Structure 1
Amino acid sequence: MLKKIWDKFMNREVISYLIFGVLTTLVNWVVYGMMVRNGIDYRIATAGAWVVSVLFAFIVNKIFVFQSYDLHFAFVIKEVVSFTACRAASGVMEMVLMVCMVSWLNMDEYVSKVLVSIVVVVVNYVFSKLFIFRKSEEKPL
């Protein structure tokens, strides 16, 4: 039974999603670090790094993870808008969960960050799989 579960969840799509997720995080950190080192305020650097990393994540998720090759302008714009909105929503969710866990439940901030990050990764995958990059023959839930 565990093998069935493992085989269902450990496939090319999930593994590539995790790999590109790590790369997206690295892009975010590198852009943030470069901006801060060049005298840009950390708040602007955070926003800039988020924009660049979301753009990077969109491109690699579209092409390599979910293999969505439709490049018609209107279709790509729809995907970009959906992707960005979902990432913004999961960002708000991340902030709310962190405040709840750290401020209200008095949990360690690093333990909370790890737990919340796991939830956010799963939510972003589900958003991408079911609503953003779904194949035209697939129906949303």
Structure 2
Amino acid sequence: MKIYRMFKDYLIEKRLWEVFIYLFFGGLATVVNIVSFTLSYQVFDLNWPISNTISWILSVLFAFVTNKVWVFQSKTESFKELIWEFSKFIFARVVSFGMDMATMYLLIDLLHTGNLIAKLITQIIVVVANYVFSKVFIFKKVEIIKDEKADSSPR
């Protein structure tokens, strides 16, 4: 636990903790995506478009919860705010999915890049885009302002 605390404190000091934790949970979302796709496709014998849709939905839901709770520590005060935040998240993920597909088409079909290289490039673009969308447009942090009167002791 001490090593974790030192690592976290170092990343916080360098202002890299949020990026690190985003990439960590993004990696887990990728695992959710791949495992759910494999189960849908191979175990339940669904076709690949349906399997891919199921895996995208599950990984997006996983990403929303982890981004909200652990990465950006966003607070919503009402169910309406939560729905608005979730709607923005879904919209941004659909946009990044479109960016992914467009970039893949450009790299594979027009520029004749290999599939793996194209996928790696698109994933970098999508991860950066999703982080910016989440940081700037979707999740808000509530800053706690300490009441100085409550902290001061009588003299």
Q: TM-score, normalised by structure 1?
A: 0.86
What's the secondary structure of 1:69's corresponding residue? coil
RMSD: 2.0
How far apart in 1 are the matches of 2:15 and 2:38?
A: 33
Give the direction of change, closer, same or farther, for the CA distance of 1:108–1:14 in structure 2 (3 Å limit): same
Larger radius of gyration: 2
Q: How many equivalent residue pairs?
A: 132
Pick aligned residue for 2:33 from 23, 28, 31: 28
Question: 1:134 deviation in Å?
Answer: 2.9
The 8 Å contact of residues 103 and 122 in structure 2, kept in 1 or not, is answered as yes
Question: 1:60 deviation in Å?
Answer: 0.1
Question: 1:107 deviation in Å?
Answer: 1.2
How far apart in 2 are the matches of 1:71 and 1:51?
A: 25
Deviates more, 1:35-44 or 1:17-26: 35-44
1:114 aligns with: 120
How far apart in 1 are the matches of 2:69 and 2:77?
A: 10
Counterparts of 1:1-141 in structure 2, within 5 Å, are 11-36=16-41, 37-70=43-76, 72-135=78-141
Give the direction of change, closer, same or farther, for the CA distance of 1:7–1:71 in structure 2 (3 Å limit): closer
Question: 1:122 deviation in Å?
Answer: 0.3
Of all paired residues, the percent bearing the same amino acid is 39
Instruction: Give per-residue Cα distances to partners, 1:23-65, cap 9 Å, x unaligned.
Output: 0000011111111211222211111111111000000000000
Q: TM-score, normalised by structure 2?
A: 0.79
Give the direction of change, closer, same or farther, for the CA distance of 1:94–1:55 in structure 2 (3 Å limit): same
